[in-house]
Amino acid sequence: MFARSATGEGEAAASAESDIWKIAELGEPTETIQADVCIVGAGGTGTAAAVQAIDLGLKPIVIGTGGYANNSEFLYGVSETKNVNIQALGMDCRDGDGIKMAKAAGAAMAEGLGTVMWCGPVTLGAVTATWTTDAYSAGVQPTLWLNQNGERYCKEDLWIDDFAGAGIAVRNQERTFVLFTEADMVRWETEGPDGQVFSFGTPGTPLAEAREVLEASEGCHIGDDLAALCAEVGLDAAAVQATVDEYNKACAAAAGLDGEDTSADEEFGKRARYMHAVDAGPYWLCEVGDGFYTTCGGIKVNENAEVLDEEGQIIPGLYAGGSDAGGLYGDSYDVKFAPGSQAAWAVNSGRLAIKNAKEYLGK
Ligand SMILES: Cc1cc2nc3c(=O)[nH]c(=O)nc-3n(C[C@H](O)[C@H](O)[C@H](O)COP(=O)(O)OP(=O)(O)OC[C@H]3O[C@@H](n4cnc5c(N)ncnc54)[C@H](O)[C@@H]3O)c2cc1C
């Protein structure tokens, strides 16, 4: 199962072999291909690697367990996030096992270990790993976004152009909230959401199921008395009211402007089409966490997907890719300029791992 001992190579890491295997057993490798090939993980990386490994009958270890998105202790330990609420979207089970395995084998960590594919607000208690819902779409609309001080902190329609940028803005606050009115909710229920990023939550398609889910969620506080809602969540009501008053003035100035005009929102430059006054209850004040899809930092690899140790030396027979390997990104996934690059990296690093493992074995 472990190529290095079988070939007699990689003695420096051989002492860690039992540790590696112990950790691998904990996670029950989902892709064990043939008797002596170990591919840990079955996502983009593992699938690409497995397909080639089957053909070639290779014996290396390819690590691709998808990073550490579901291990909040790990994430708070390495990431710069300040937000007390974080929410992984998409799937459970990415606990950093591959990174732990590689570390046990002497691997170095790449710069940017705390890199996370942030994506903006997610209403607490309303959205889980299954995120493609009306409630998710409603909670992330470019309404009035507030931080722990009751202040705005970004132009809320940033989410539509660059969700990673919006996610980083949320990450830099300690607590985050979205505030909208019953009129907004009714508009979304009849006309669909104001803004769209993904293939779901489309303007023109009513968000028929948002209300019920949000009403039942721990994050949402609904009522006619905004000050009372602020008290419920621990926000300074006077500070929130001051922000609302300023925002409403900007909304009044935006009325009648072209939808793309950003001049009315002097503070942040949100487009006029998204400026809806917060001037009548019932109000919806929802605490949101910083949502993210995956972590993108991890094991240090070279251009061949070979794992490197602290001295920059290759650990023979050990490969890593996808979200377990680092070095691809800085602060976050740059969705605006290179969408799909993280998934493409997962597939291609799996391919590179096997291509180079083949050479390692002289095949
Ligand atoms: C909701 C969502 C949206 C995304 N959107 C985009 C996008 O638009 N563009 C983009 O480029 N990327 C996107 N990504 C990221 C992209 O999907 C991932 O970067 C890619 O899937 C990573 O591939 P991977 O092989 O590293 O990990 P994964 O695909 O996560 O696969 C890891 C596998 O390892 C398994 N595993 C974990 N621990 C163990 C263990 N101990 N033993 C055995 N198996 C284990 C897991 O069960 C999983 O099957 C998105 C991710 C999510 C969740």
pLDDT on residue 50? 65
Task: Give yes or no for residue 20 CB within 6 A of ligand 1.
Answer: no
Q: Do 150 and 248 belong together in one domain? A: yes
Q: Does the residue 149 lie in any domain?
A: yes
CA-131 nearest atom, ligand 1: 1
Centroid of ligand 1 to alpha carbon of 98 (angstroms): 12
Type of residue at 290: D
Residue 67 has pLDDT above 90, yes or no: yes
Q: Do 128 and 256 belong together in one domain? A: yes
Centroid of ligand 1 to alpha carbon of 43 (angstroms): 5
Q: Do 108 and 180 belong together in one domain? A: no
- Which protein residue has the closest C-alpha to ligand 1 atom 40? 27
CA-322 nearest atom, ligand 1: 26
Task: Give yes or no for residue 199 CB within 6 A of ligand 1.
Answer: no
Q: Do 131 and 36 belong together in one domain? A: no
CA-29 nearest atom, ligand 1: 43
Q: Do 201 and 253 belong together in one domain? A: yes
Task: Give yes or no for residue 46 CB within 6 A of ligand 1.
Answer: yes
**Greater confidence, 288 or 50?**
288
79: exposed, middle or buried (Cβ count in 10 Å: 0-12, 13-18, 19+): buried
Q: Which of 117, 131, 296, 351 to mutate to test the pocket of ligand 1 (most atoms within 8 A of CB)?
A: 117
CA-23 nearest atom, ligand 1: 41
* End-to-end Cα distance, the chain: 18
Q: What is the mean pLDDT of residues 67-86?
A: 91
Peptide bond connecting 60 to the previous residue in cis, omega within 30 degrees of 0? no
- Which protein residue has the closest C-alpha to ligand 1 atom 1? 90
Question: Judging by DSSP bridges, how do beta strands 314-320 and 61-63 pair with one another?
Answer: parallel
Q: What is the mean pLDDT of residues 104-112?
A: 87
Q: Do 121 and 110 belong together in one domain? A: no
Task: Please name the residues in contact with 95: beta carbons below 8 A apart, sequence gap of 6 or more.
Answer: 27, 65, 68, 70, 71, 74
Residue 8: domain span: 3-80+91-115+296-360
pLDDT digits (tens, 9 = 90+) for 336-362: 888 899 999 999 998 998 888 888 877
Angle at Cα 22 formed by Cα 21 and Cα 24, nearest 5°? 60
Q: Does the residue 85 lie in any domain?
A: no
168: three-class secondary structure by DSSP: helix
Count of structural domains, the chain: 2
Q: Which of 294, 295, 334, 347 to mutate to test the pocket of ligand 1 (most atoms within 8 A of CB)?
A: 294
Task: Give yes or no for residue 326 CB within 6 A of ligand 1.
Answer: no
Q: Which of 23, 342, 349 to mutate to test the pocket of ligand 1 (most atoms within 8 A of CB)?
A: 342
Centroid of ligand 1 to alpha carbon of 171 (angstroms): 21
DSSP 8-state assignment for residue 141: S
Q: Does the residue 10 lie in any domain?
A: yes
CATH code, domain carrying 286: 3.90.700.10
Type of residue at 163: F
Q: Do 206 and 269 belong together in one domain? A: yes
Q: Do 96 and 153 belong together in one domain? A: no
Q: Does the residue 125 lie in any domain?
A: yes
DSSP string, 221-255: EEES-HHHHHHHHT--HHHHHHHHHHHHHHHHHHT
**Greater confidence, 41 or 149?**
149
Among 100-104, 168-172, 196-200, the minimum mean pLDDT is found in 100-104
Q: Does the residue 352 lie in any domain?
A: yes
% of the chain beyond a pLDDT of 70: 85
CB-based contact 350:46 (threshold 8 Å): yes
Q: Do 171 and 286 belong together in one domain? A: yes
Categorize the per-residue pLDDT at 3 as very low, low, confident or very high, splitting at 50, 70 and 90: very low
Q: Does the residue 227 lie in any domain?
A: yes
Q: Do 240 and 282 belong together in one domain? A: yes
Q: Do 252 and 142 belong together in one domain? A: yes
pLDDT on residue 57? 61
What is the dihedral angle through the alpha carbons of 30, 34, 35, 36, rounded to the nearest 10 degrees? -90
Inter-CA distances, 99 with 33, 60, 69, 320, Å: 21, 16, 12, 9
Domain boundary among 292, 319, 342: 292
Task: Give yes or no for residue 293 CB within 6 A of ligand 1.
Answer: yes
Type of residue at 195: G
CATH code, domain carrying 312: 3.50.50.60
Domain boundary among 259, 292, 325: 292
pLDDT digits (tens, 9 = 90+) for 216-268: 999 999 999 999 999 999 999 999 999 999 999 999 999 999 999 999 999 99
Domain boundary among 250, 267, 292: 292
Q: Does the residue 86 lie in any domain?
A: no
CB atoms within 10 A of CB 201: 22
Task: Give yes or no for residue 317 CB within 6 A of ligand 1.
Answer: no
Task: Give yes or no for residue 43 CB within 6 A of ligand 1.
Answer: yes
Q: Do 56 and 198 belong together in one domain? A: no
Categorize the per-residue pLDDT at 16 as very low, low, confident or very high, splitting at 50, 70 and 90: very low
Task: Give yes or no for residue 44 CB within 6 A of ligand 1.
Answer: yes
Exposure string of 292-331, with b = 16+ CB inside 10 Å and e = fewer, is bbbbbbbbbbeeebbbbbeeeebbbbbbbbbbbbbbbbeb
Q: In sequence order, what E strands does 108-199 have? A: 116-123, 144-147, 176-181
Q: Does the residue 268 lie in any domain?
A: yes
Centroid of ligand 1 to alpha carbon of 155 (angstroms): 30
CB-based contact 207:299 (threshold 8 Å): no
pLDDT on residue 112? 82
